Amino acid sequence: MNKHLKPIIQSVVLLLFFAPSVKGQKTKTVDSLTIYLNNIKTPADTNIIYKVFEWLYKCEEDILLTDDVMNKIGQLKNKVDEDDYYDIATIYFYALINKDTPASNEKAIAVMQQWLAQNENSKSKYGHYNYLNILRDLRHPFRNSGKLNECIEYFTASEKKYLSVQDSEAVSIVYNVLASSYNKLGLIEKAKYYQLKSIAFLNNSQKDYNIHFGATSFGISGKVNRFAVLGSYYIEQKKPNIAIGYLNEAIKFYNQLDEPMLMTDAPYIFLQLARCKTLEKSNNSSRYYDTALKYMKEYNEQPVIYAHYYQEKAADYISKNVLDSALININKAIQLKDSFNLGIISSYGELLTGFYKATILIKKGKVKDAINILQSEIKEIRVLNNVNLLIAELSLLAEAYSANGDTEEAYKTLRESFLLKEQLVAEQNDARSLNFETEKKMQESENAIVSLDAQNKANQKIKYYLFGIVGLLALFLMGMAVFYSIKRKTNRELAVKNKRLSDALQQLQATQSQLIQSEKMASLGELTAGIAHEIQNPLNFVNNFSELSVDLAKELKEEVEKIEIPEKDKEYVSEIIGDLSQNQEKINHHGKRASSIVKGMLEHSRKSSGTKEPTDNNALADEYLRLAYHGLRAKNKDFNATMETHFDPNLPKIEVIPQDIGRVLLNLINNAFYAVNERSKKGEAGYQPIISITTQLIANTQLLIAIKDNGSGIPDAIKDKIFQPFFTTKPTGQGTGLGLSLAYDIVKAHGGELTIESQVGEGLPAGEAGTAFIIHIPTL
């Protein structure tokens, strides 16, 4: 390509990426592109090549979505220079990303993944940086379509590939994207872990920055970017003291740049520093916003960062309760967002103009307007699968409903926010501070997947071989000999896999005592939880591949029935296939049991990060009673039970950790519903399931909560074991035995006691048989 043309092309790419919509004349058909492509004879046809760039830049979405476009671009690979080919592909991909519709995002994911797989070995530095830029920006259609889990799956698989070829820059990109994805899911510790790994694969070079704008993602400028992003993570967590440390690290590397104007992250960094000052409620925050604005003007920034600037400036005024100035600034942000069709998510963060304007309106008493704005913005956020943003918006909407006097909607909205927060906290606990030793053990677990995949391929070979028997009847004896040989080999492999699975289960059983101790030993508990979380992934593959193998065996058996061979041989082959199918079913059964155990281990090893607070325990007990009942009714619509509550009306608010006591109540109430449901299945005449909850303040020193059922009761012989980890009275596969153990530990952690009273009585009247779990928690 002409050296003077490259900067123009890079400018087009940047314009496509940052401009949310393209104004002007649109290309209507594929014919124009076809004409240009046919006229390209040699790499010297730069004018025609530029026409292709222009065509893609102006193209409408329905044309971009056709397969013909990518096919014709692929034909250019042997006609033009590699740099031209990469540029054309890049502009096509960014044109798709820029549309940001469900169809364009899905198309972008598909064609970008295909292109990356086919163009790994670029010949020039320019081409390589183009490749890396496309790899990095694949995160945008994943993120815009809410497919964060699929994004994590793709880039985790890519990690091994780039490590094997020692492409440190690609590895750094992979870790950078993984960090971004985990942050969007609210898993800040995993995000920090992968971002620091991304930095570890960067050097202190400043070379190639003038070759391709994508080169600024590496070397010193790459470190500037990564540390700035780390700072933004902790700003979102409302931890400005940590964020400032990372932002100052970014500024330190920024000051080392020979050509700082190539580093377009500078305005973003200083805007983030200003946000920190807002969070710190600093009196001189306006000075930091003025500095950020100065850098934005120097760098001639895009409208999107100005929109973020006005949004954050509004937030600063809100924190100072200067509402009129806040409203002026947020309206400027809204005007930019609407004029340039800016989305909520961008490379600069979240543009939540509705949230901030609603906050201002609520403070001004214009609650109905605030509700309408929030409802509209929440619809957009639900599509993005961003739990953090949804929690914040729902909490503010609940506040608005409450201020408007709509207590029912306020309760429903606040409850959804509460449940999402519990889910998010659970996921965050599973992702605590990974270390390299844990990663090594994760790698060892993943080796089982590779081995299982090899076994599955062997089964496929057996199937294809039997298909060939139809046309090779004369070679039947030889074919059967080969089949038996492969079968014996497969059986040996299955035996090895079964032994490994058995060893894995034994290893899980061996760690039971460590799981119990994890509540007392925090570091060991975190390590165990991390390992168990990652074991779940290979177990999922074991379950999935074993189910697939069962289906393949069934298909194989059907095909054998169609083959014209002696009946005796056909029976023998069918018997072998049946054995293979049974083995796979057993693997699947035990794999699912292991998954259930791992899930319980994670629950048992999790430590509460909550703090005690004054809690209305009557309301807490009533809430979880309804929650458990509706949960069971959702699974079994025929189930009914009488629920009785005997709440002490004079019970004061008592300091407990509400999330933990809620888990205890939910466990005990679920057990009670299970007990009465099991007894009701026996068809006893006149039996009516009854669950009752009693609260009482004893001598002003102890809180008593009793959960009682009229089920069949618990025999005396096992009462002493009922709180032991992994002990359960439920049938195999229906319980892990960790629920009561966890409840017992939580109550003990509150300085209290959990006891059981039970009367076994099959056939006894409903009031004489049953079980009561009694919680005593000191109030002093």
Using the predicted structure, report yes or no on whether residue 352 has a pLDDT greater than 90.
yes
Q: How confident is the model at residue 723 (pLDDT cuts 50, 70, 90)?
A: confident
CA distance 146 to 345: 11
CA distance 661 to 623: 12
| Closest to 776 in 3D by CA, of 758, 756, 753 | 753
**What pLDDT score does 529 carry?**
55
Fold of the domain spanning 432-605? Glutathione S-transferase Yfyf (Class Pi); Chain A, domain 2 (1.20.1050)
Between the alpha carbon of residue 398 and those of residues 364, 394, 408, 662, the distances in Å are 17, 6, 10, 22
Query: If you average pLDDT over each of 205-214, 235-244, 461-470, 757-766, which comes out highest?
Result: 235-244
Min mean pLDDT across 143-152, 399-408, 522-531 is at 522-531
The dihedral sign for the CA sequence 12, 15, 20, 25: negative
Please answer whether residues 156 and 197 qualify as being in contact, where contact means their C-beta atoms are separated by less than 8 angstroms. Answer: no
Between the alpha carbon of residue 381 and those of residues 343, 372, 424, the distances in Å are 10, 15, 16
Using the predicted structure, report yes or no on whether residue 439 has a pLDDT greater than 70.
no
Structure confidence by residue, pLDDT tens digits, 499-544: 776 666 665 654 444 344 344 434 444 545 555 556 766 777 677 7
CA distance 224 to 220: 6
Q: What angle do CA 173, 264, 326 make, to 5 degrees?
A: 110
Phi/psi at 260 (5° precision): -60, -25
For residue 567, give both structure tokens. Answer: 């009946």
Q: What are the CB-based long-range contacts (under 8 Å, 24+) for 554-558?
A: 554/581, 555/463, 556/462, 556/463, 556/466, 557/581
Using the predicted structure, report yes or no on whether residue 18 has a pLDDT greater than 60.
no
β 642-646/690-698 pair status = parallel
427-466: b (≥16 Cβ within 10 Å) or e: bbbbbbebeeebeeebeebeebbeebeebeeebeebeebb
Provide the whole-model pTM.
0.51
CA distance 401 to 420: 19
For residue 257, give both structure tokens. Answer: 């740049």
β 702-709/690-698 pair status = antiparallel
Structure confidence by residue, pLDDT tens digits, 634-654: 788 888 899 999 999 999 999
β-bridge partners, 754: 775
Min mean pLDDT across 318-322, 601-605, 616-620 is at 601-605
Intrachain domains 432-605 and 613-778 with the same fold: no
CA distance 672 to 261: 67
Please answer whether residues 226 and 195 qualify as being in contact, where contact means their C-beta atoms are separated by less than 8 angstroms. Answer: yes
Query: Collapsing DSSP states into helix, strand and coil, what is residue 697?
Result: strand
Structural domain spans, the chain: 1-141, 147-200, 432-605, 613-778
Q: What are the CB-based long-range contacts (under 8 Å, 24+) for 476-483?
A: 476/565, 476/569, 480/569, 480/573, 483/573
CATH superfamily of 613-778: Histidine kinase-like ATPase, C-terminal domain (3.30.565.10)
The dihedral sign for the CA sequence 488, 494, 497, 503: negative
For residue 762, give both structure tokens. Answer: 């099959």
- What spatial distance separates the first Cα and last Cα of the chain, rounded to whole Å? 79
Please answer whether residues 393 and 486 qualify as being in contact, where contact means their C-beta atoms are separated by less than 8 angstroms. Answer: no
Burial of 11 (0-12, 13-18, 19+ CB in 10 A): exposed
Amino acid letter for position 207 = K
